[in-house]
Amino acid sequence: MAVSDLPPHGLSHGALRGVKVLDLTRILAGPTTTQLLGDLGADVIKVENPGTGGDDTRQWGTSVARDADLTPYFMAANRNKRSLALDISQPDGQQVIRRLAAQADVLMENFKPGGLARYGLDYHSLRDACPRLVYASISGYGHTGPNREKPGYDLMAQGYGGMMSLTGAPDGAPMKAGVGIADVMCGMYAAVGILSALRHRDLTGEGQQVEVALVDSQIAWLINEGVGYLNTGQLPVRRGNEHPSIMPYGNYQTSDGHVILAVGNDSQFRRFMRFLALEGLADDPRFATNPARLDNRQALTDILIPALRRHSTQTVITAMEAAKVPVGPVQTLDQVFASDQVGARDLVVTMESNGTPLRLLGNPLKFSRTPVTYRRPPPTCGAHSDEILATDHPFAED
């Protein structure tokens, strides 16, 4: 899918058209939030420190574009924004932020708790002058608690919040997820909080602060494992790709690779056993029900491993799809992005930046009336400074 960059303020679509966002975030959690708001139509001005070269992620990796500061890490979370290079440690920079905040609907920041207070740009300093402002704050551990002063990164959140203790092979070391999922999920929670606060503001005229922490959000999505521990006191164990409550469920080796199987009920298990020519196991008291299969997990695994290794990945997938047993491949990224499904769902978009085509991940949200739009490619640091500073009203009007 190819998209063109619209002229400045070209907000032609989007459920958040007319929403003005002042973005003081960097790295991943905050930029994920503001990119999502931008995709939905908001006008986002991203403030970057010119003294450090802008957002930290501009230096995280090698540029894939003509512009040296457009790394994949930065590009992944910063489209649909304009970049303003501004030193907020200086009085002139602080005055610009106050002027923009007075016009904005949302200000988002991810400084350490109290970090903006020294510049008079924290929520309490701006609240009286901007009573309708939704002020969103992301930090590592939150603005209260004994760890409030500690910095927060995705890896630390996954470790402190317990996710790493659940991830990895049973006999291996604790393992983080392959991407910064704690950052991304924190950004998603922040987006929900901002939209909720905007709804309240539109009903009452009253702004407020929305505060979310990396560790808080990571603990919140421990879901069944967290709730299970809280109610039983039993620590869950790492099971690799297996499921704690469903069996068989996991990644299994075939004759030429791997296949994912998720056998969710007893009738699916019976059809699975028929494919493997092991029909008798469906009536074996050790395996006839899911609770029995969980109690005899290792015995069943010892049977399944050699049985599945006799078949190719595609043979298993074809047979299980015909039998209506949930199944799928383990794809590498080249296979993912070459798939017809990715094309059909517009999960790759191309935007042009200074003559260079940039391929980006598409937004997964689909709307029947207010579609996601891709209006601006990820900007170079300070690319829109002159445009923004040249007018008293730089935000797009509804």
Copy the structure tokens of residue 255.
């004759």
Predicted pLDDT at 3: 46
Copy the structure tokens of residue 102.
């007075």
d(CA 60, CA 72): 8
* Model confidence at 352: pLDDT above 60: yes
Catalytic residue (one of 183, 256, 340, 392): 183
Which among 380, 367, 362 is positioned nearest to 81, based on CA atoms?
Answer: 380
Copy the structure tokens of residue 249.
């469920």
* Model confidence at 2: pLDDT above 90: no
At 20 the three-state DSSP class reads: strand
At 353 the three-state DSSP class reads: strand
pLDDT band, very low/low/confident/very high, at 1 (cuts 50, 70, 90): very low
Which among 188, 189, 209 is positioned nearest to 197, based on CA atoms?
Answer: 209
User: What is the overall mean pLDDT for the chain?
Assistant: 95
Over residues 163-216, the pLDDT tens digits come to 999 999 999 999 999 999 999 999 999 999 999 999 999 999 999 999 999 999
d(CA 153, CA 140): 7
Secondary structure letter of residue 138 according to DSSP: E
Give residue 26's identity as a one-letter amino acid code.
Answer: R
* Model confidence at 13: pLDDT above 80: no
* Model confidence at 381: pLDDT above 90: yes
pLDDT band, very low/low/confident/very high, at 4 (cuts 50, 70, 90): very low
d(CA 21, CA 15): 14
Q: State phi, psi for 288 to the nearest 5 degrees.
A: -70, -25
Beta strands in the chain (DSSP E): 20-24, 43-48, 82-85, 106-109, 134-139, 208-213, 249-253, 258-262, 327-329, 348-353, 356-361
pLDDT band, very low/low/confident/very high, at 396 (cuts 50, 70, 90): confident
Predicted pLDDT at 10: 41
Q: Specify the pairing of strand 249-253 against strand 208-213.
A: unpaired
Tokens 């510049």 found at: 119
Over residues 51-95, the pLDDT tens digits come to 999 999 999 999 988 878 999 999 999 999 999 999 999 999 999
End-to-end Cα separation, the chain, in angstroms: 27
Do 211 and 137 contact (CB within 8 A), yes or no? yes
Q: Give the other-Cβ count within 10 Å of 274's Cβ.
A: 13
* Model confidence at 365: pLDDT above 60: yes
Q: Cis omega before residue 131 (within 30°)?
A: no
Does the active-site annotation cover 183?
yes
pTM of the model: 0.93
Copy the structure tokens of residue 209.
């602060």
Copy the structure tokens of residue 360.
């980006």
Predicted pLDDT at 398: 63
Question: How many percent of the chain have pLDDT more than 70?
Answer: 96
